[in-house]
Amino acid sequence: MPNKKAALRMDGWSAGYGNSQVLRNLKLTAFSGEVVAILGENGAGKTTLFRSIMQLLPYQSGKIEILGRPIERTGDRRWARSQIGYVPQTHGQGRFPISVAEAVLLGRWGTSYAYFRRPSSADKDIADRMLQVVGLEAFKNKDCRSLSGGQKQRLNIARALVREPRILLLDEPTTYLDRDSQEMLASLIGELRQFETSVLIITHEHKYAQAVADRVLLLEAGVLAEKAEAGQ
């Protein structure tokens, strides 16, 4: 993408579990404000790739940069995780009553508030702003357990966004969503460009990937390749 800075750069990246290699000599660049979809069947290495980006998995070889900063030491890895938002495939909200606003605010935990520090007015302001971004401001006082599948997915994205990440990872975001909810999610992903956030999506839905992403990559047996130009 012209005139865009790389939010993520991986070069020669190999990683796995123990002596088992899952990712092989992988090369990936994602730019600020870009949406990249990564297609792959089960066992292709998609989850391992996200765990590598989040610095949750020891690597075997290669280099990674987040926002131009080489990630080499423990402090680098801790900083890298602070720049990344993650939305898992599941969207359960637990069994306890908690409002939508409170659930989103929990995304700020460990950034500006924690055990003995209460959320500040700035924390609450950004939570309210992200509820507006995902279209849930009218539901802020509702019990989050009462939300539909699509609404819960938007809540999870808002909870990731309140950390103000520069990279957002979405793991199979269309799972359990009906067609209307998938369309709303596609619109939301497009709106995230305003934050200059780099969005990486793991999915097995080829048509959806083409619809929402700037680029579609194919991950097969731990090897990543350009699949096709995508659509926005």
Distance CA(113)–CA(119), nearest Å, equals: 5
Name the residue ranges covered by the structural domains of the chain.
1-83+165-232, 93-164
First to last CA, the chain: 13
Q: Which of 23, 173, 214 is nearest to 89 (CA)?
A: 173
Q: How confident is the model at residue 227 (pLDDT cuts 50, 70, 90)?
A: low
Kindly report, residue by residue over 134-158, the tens digit of the pLDDT.
889 999 999 988 988 888 888 998 9
Q: Which pLDDT does position 232 carry in this prediction?
A: 45
In the predicted model, what is the mean pLDDT of the chain? Answer: 86
DSSP E strand stretches across 57-197 = 59-66, 69-70, 84-87, 167-171
CB atoms under 10 Å from CB of 183, counted, come to 14
CA distances 14 to 68, 168, 223, Å, are 20, 22, 10
Kindly report, residue by residue over 158-178, the tens digit of the pLDDT.
999 998 899 999 999 888 778
Q: Which pLDDT does position 121 carry in this prediction?
A: 82
Q: Which pLDDT does position 95 carry in this prediction?
A: 60
Q: Which pLDDT does position 44 carry in this prediction?
A: 84
| CATH 3.40.50.300 fits domain 1-83+165-232 | yes
Q: Are 6 and 30 in contact (CB under 8 A)?
A: yes
Looking from the CA of 76 toward its CB, the CA atoms found within 13 Å total 12
Position 20, amino acid? S
Q: Is the alpha carbon torsion for 47, 53, 58, 59 positive or negative? A: positive
What would the two tokens of residue 53 be?
Answer: 């980006």
Kindly report, residue by residue over 52-90, the tens digit of the pLDDT.
999 998 888 999 999 999 999 999 999 999 999 999 876
Place of tokens 């909870």: 159
**Percent above pLDDT 70 for the chain:** 90
